[in-house]
Amino acid sequence: MARDSNPVHHAPDLHAQEGDRLTTAQGVGVDDTDHSLTAGPRGPVLLEDHHLREKITHFDHERIPERVVHARGAGAHGVFRAYGNAASVTKAAFLATPDEETEVFVRFSTVLGSRGSADTVRDVRGFATKFHTREGTFDLVGNNFPVFFIQDAVKFPDIIHAGKPEPDREIPQAQSAHDTFWDFIGSHTESTHMAMWAMSDRGIPRSYRTMEGFGVHTFRMEATDGTTSLVKFHWKPHLGVHSQVWEEAQITQGADPDFHRRDLYDAIAAGAYPQWELGLQIMPDTTDETFEGIDLLDPTKIVPEEICPVQTVGLLTLTEAPENFFAETEQVAFHVDHVVPGIQVTNDPLMQGRLFSYLDTQLSRLGGPNFAQLPVNRPRTPVNDMFRDGMHQQAVHSGIVAYKPNQIDDDLPRTSPEGEDAFVTVPTPVSGEKGRHHPVSFTDHFSQARLFWLSLTPVEQAHEVEAFTFELGKCLRQEVKEGVLASLACVDTDLAARVAAGLGLPVPDGEVPDGVVASPALSQIPAEPGRVD
Nearest-approach distance from CB 212 to ligand HEM, in angstroms? 13
Contact between 484 and 513 (Cβ < 8 Å): no
Distances (CA, A) of 483 to 194, 239, 245, 506: 16, 38, 27, 12
Which residue type is seen at 469?
T
Extract the runs of DSSP E, i.e. beta strands, from 260-357.
Answer: 275-284, 290-291, 294-295, 311-320, 343-344
Nearest-approach distance from CB 324 to ligand HEM, in angstroms? 16
Q: Which of 51, 132, 143, 188 is catalytic?
A: 143
Nearest-approach distance from CB 117 to ligand HEM, in angstroms? 14
SS3 481: helix
**Nearer residue to ligand HEM within complex by CB, 96 or 310:** 310
What does the per-residue mask of binding to ligand HEM show for 208-237, with x meaning CB under 6 A? --------x---------------------
Instruction: Please confirm, yes or no, whether 143 is among the known catalytic residues.
Output: yes
Nearest-approach distance from CB 332 to ligand HEM, in angstroms? 6
Among positions 72, 91, 107, 450, the unique one binding ligand HEM when judged by CB under 6 A: 107
Number of residues that bind ligand HEM (CB under 6 A): 28
Choose one: 97-105, 140-148, 286-294, 303-311; the region binding ligand HEM (CB under 6 A): 140-148
Among positions 109, 133, 189, 244, the unique one binding ligand HEM when judged by CB under 6 A: 109
Distances (CA, A) of 525 to 36, 292, 294, 300: 78, 8, 13, 21
Q: Phi and psi dihedrals of 199, rounded to 5?
A: -85, -5
Interface with ligand HEM, residue 498, by CB under 6 A: no
Contacting residues for 41 by C-beta, under 8 A, at least 6 apart: none
HSE-CB of 14 using CA atoms within 13 angstroms: 9
Positions 154 through 173 that interact with ligand HEM (CB under 6 A): 156
**Nearer residue to ligand HEM within complex by CB, 351 or 500:** 351
Among positions 353, 379, 473, 510, the unique one binding ligand HEM when judged by CB under 6 A: 353
SS3 320: strand
Contact between 73 and 329 (Cβ < 8 Å): yes
How big is the chain, counted in residues?
533
Among positions 76, 92, 333, 485, the unique one binding ligand HEM when judged by CB under 6 A: 333
The region, left, alpha or beta by phi > 0 then psi within -120 to 50, assigned to residue 504 is left
Interface with ligand HEM, residue 302, by CB under 6 A: no
**Nearer residue to ligand HEM within complex by CB, 209 or 463:** 209
**CA 137/CA 278 separation, integer angstroms:** 17
Other CB atoms within 10 Å distance of the CB of residue 249: 21
Interface with ligand HEM, residue 463, by CB under 6 A: no
SS3 252: helix
Interface with ligand HEM, residue 322, by CB under 6 A: no
**CA 108/CA 267 separation, integer angstroms:** 15
**Nearer residue to ligand HEM within complex by CB, 118 or 489:** 118
Among positions 350, 449, 472, 475, the unique one binding ligand HEM when judged by CB under 6 A: 350
Find, among 249, 143, 163, 164, the residue nearest to 204 by Cα. Answer: 249
Choose one: 169-177, 183-191, 326-334, 525-533; the region binding ligand HEM (CB under 6 A): 326-334
Interface with ligand HEM, residue 192, by CB under 6 A: no
Contact set with ligand HEM (CB under 6 A): 67-70, 73, 107, 109, 126, 128, 141-143, 148, 153, 156, 216, 299, 332-334, 350, 353-354, 357-358, 361-362, 365
Please give the positions annotated as active site.
70, 143
